[in-house]
Structure 1
Amino acid sequence: MSGTAFTSHALGRPWCQAIELTDGTRLLMRPIQPSDAQMLQAGFLTLTPQEIRMRFLHPLNELTAGYAERLCRIDPESEFALVLVEAKPPSEARIAAVARVAIDDDGQEAEFAVILGREIRRFGLGRYLVGQLADWCRTQGLKAMYGFILAENRPMLDLMRKMGFHLGPSDVDTGVMLARLPLN
């Protein structure tokens, strides 16, 4: 894959990859599981308030057990989520990234969101994960994928432009941009 600083190898299960970054970090990409809730909460504790605001578009002081459980128990008919987990023993591993998408009620488009831990940024994983979400949306026959991004989140807006997303103001908030990718 061009522009990446990692290699990936399929693990023989859908949406599962072994990933090695050029710095030697090893990760596993796989669909999120209900058993990930505690690991998701632990990973949330490593995020700065700014990182949380960039992802959730507002301050969030904690990821409650209930909210973590909800994020990990997806509806397979309308949601899809991938995690990048450190390739370590389960008691030591933590979630380094989450990418998720949810199909709108009309069944035509899906909203996506991605968050990467700071230690794995700049390796091309954001682009890779967004591409994986787009691929899943295509398998569902969706027309477009979209996400809301703070106008100050220049790295994410730049990535969206490079990936062919159309950017424009959102009706959510004046400080939020809408990134939309046609999937046809």
Structure 2
Amino acid sequence: MATRNRMPPWHDHFKAPSGRELLIRPIRPEDAAPLQGAFSLFGPEEVRDRFLQAVNELSDQTAERLTHPSPKTEICLVAAEPENPGEAVVGAIARASIIPGTREAEYAILVSRFLAGQGLGRQLMRKLVKWARGKYLDRLYGYVAEDNLPMLQLAQSLGFERVDNHPDAANGLVRMVLELDT
């Protein structure tokens, strides 16, 4: 492939079975307003699973933190319309962050109910695993609601193991862990 046709790192086109085309890319500061605007597209169950409480809007502080990840310890990807950052509707967000003082990272993925079940979660999870391996981490883990069977099955299909008795797992959450053989 010619150099001029290559996409920047961590960018990828995604075409859903529904025909919707998205661009998976690193989050940008300009995405804060569209992310806050699209927050209502995420179902209440999805938001509660990620924030452990009912949240109706994404605060300015949270949007600022998400749109300014530390490149050494975090990655935050969005799946958005193939428009300029700041103009594109964001339909999914995936984040991994290294836990200070460890060789492990915690992940979180939030996919709009309009895009769920189309393979986008799998694509985002693969990118987070690739990032974690590139950082030479020992493990990648996240918490999934015990009634979120599609996400539990997705994680298990990618090699994650369910840890039901972990002390951090609470409130109906299951810890899913992938041991990275880097």
TM-score, with normalisation over the residues of structure 2? 0.89
**Residue 12 of structure 1, CA deviation:** 2.1
Q: Conserved in 1, the CA contact under 8 Å of 2:74 and 2:97?
A: yes
Q: Secondary structure in 1 aligned to 2:129?
A: helix
**RMSD after superposition:** 1.7
Partner of 1:122: 117
Aligned to 1:96: 91
Is the CA contact (8 Å cut-off) linking 2:29 and 2:64 kept in structure 1? Answer: yes
- Deviations along 1:103-125, one digit per CA (max 9) or x if unpaired, are 01124000000011112122211
Per the alignment, residue 136 of structure 2 pairs with 141
1:76 paired residue number: 71
The alpha carbon displacement at 1:62 in A equals: 2.0
* Distance (whole Å) between structure 1 residues aligned to residue 34 and residue 146 of structure 2: 30
The structure that is strand-richer by fraction is: 1
- Residues in 2 aligned to 1:27 and 1:122: alpha-carbon distance in whole angstroms: 15
Distance 1:90 1:68, change over 3 A: closer
**TM-score calculated relative to the size of structure 1:** 0.88
Matched, 1:167 2:162: yes
What does residue 47 of structure 1 align with? 42
- The one-letter code matched in structure 2 to 1:131 is R
Structure 1: gaps spanning 5 or more residues: 1-9
The more displaced of 109-118 and 92-101 is 92-101
Shift of 1:40: 0.9
- Give the direction of change, closer, same or farther, for the CA distance of 1:58–1:11 in structure 2 (3 Å limit): farther
Give 1:154 shift.
1.4
Query: Letter of the aligned partner of 1:40 in structure 2?
Result: L
**Number of aligned positions between the proteins:** 175
Answer yes or no: is the 8 Å Cα contact 1:167–1:178 preserved in 2: yes
Whether the aligned pair in 1 keeps the contact of 2:16 and 2:120 (CA below 8 Å) is no
Residues 49/29 of structure 1: CA separation in 2 closer, same or farther (3 Å cut): same
Give runs of ≥4 in structure 1 deviating > 4 Å. 88-92
Q: How does 1:50-61 map to 2 (within 5 A)?
A: 50-61=45-56
Which 5+ residue runs of structure 2 have no aligned equivalent? none
- Asked if the contact 1:101/1:133 (under 8 Å) is kept, the reply is yes
